[in-house]
Structure 1
Amino acid sequence: KAVNWSKFTATAALGVIHRGNLTQSRKLLEPYLPQAGGLSSGSIFSQGGALYAYGLIHANHGADALDYLKTQFASAEEEVIQHGGALGLGIAGMGTGSEEIFDNLKNVLFTDSALNGEAVGLAMGLIMLGTGN
């Protein structure tokens, strides 16, 4: 049975399995994605992994996913959910050079969280990929 980070990884793997299935992505991940008001039945690790999976599914086609991921990232209170949201944003927004996303990610760096700092650093690099910035 998967626990903690194993749940995160197992849920994120769904994004690799279903990569490119843009029309059904939300439905596939619905049992794991964070719900409004924090009423999700899944663990925080599954929720974080689901946000990462959502980004993986939408890699190179992230325009539709970016608004959802930005909202989830901004409203996340748990570090693990923010971690998954940052990774999902980075993958879905790869190479966009979006200053808005970059600044939202950068603000989390100032919270001094090692867990989120790693994910946010990676995501910031992915967002600016190829821009020379």
Structure 2
Amino acid sequence: GVIAAGAEAELVGLARRLGAPVITTVMGRGAITERDPLWHGVLPNGRATDAVIRAADVILAVGCRFAHRSTQGLLLNLSFSAAQTLIHLDLDPTVLGRLFKPQLGIVGDARDGLTRVLQSLGPGHPRDSWDHRWRAE
């Protein structure tokens, strides 16, 4: 995942570049400080994360196994709509598509993958027209 790969700076950089919310798993907690305005909770805390996930048109899952239960034994009740695009980046190819079929599955290191995504976006600022209703949730 992000922490194991030492990709915290790349995750934060991509989130800032896009102005996108970040949700972590229990194992990924700390990948972005919980004081950051882009941090929006920990799965499987549905009260904190459901609105953000429902509002997303693209979901980038990095180093996330999407296990039915988190390491805290809490049930993960997660689903994506047909209108959403799931991009799943993981070092382990057997994880991709295990529970959720991604539209784009990428086998690779989190740090390298996030760096490449950020480089492909190039310099710029978050879109002003971005839908930020998730911040009010």
Q: What interval of TM-score do these two structures reach, taking the shorter chain for normalisation?
A: 0.3 to 0.5
Higher relative contact order by CA 8 Å / sep ≥ 6: 1 or 2? 2
More strand by share: 2
**Structure with the higher fraction of residues in helix conformation:** 1
TM-score (norm 1): 0.33
What TM-score, normalized to structure 2? 0.32
Q: Which has the larger radius of gyration?
A: 2
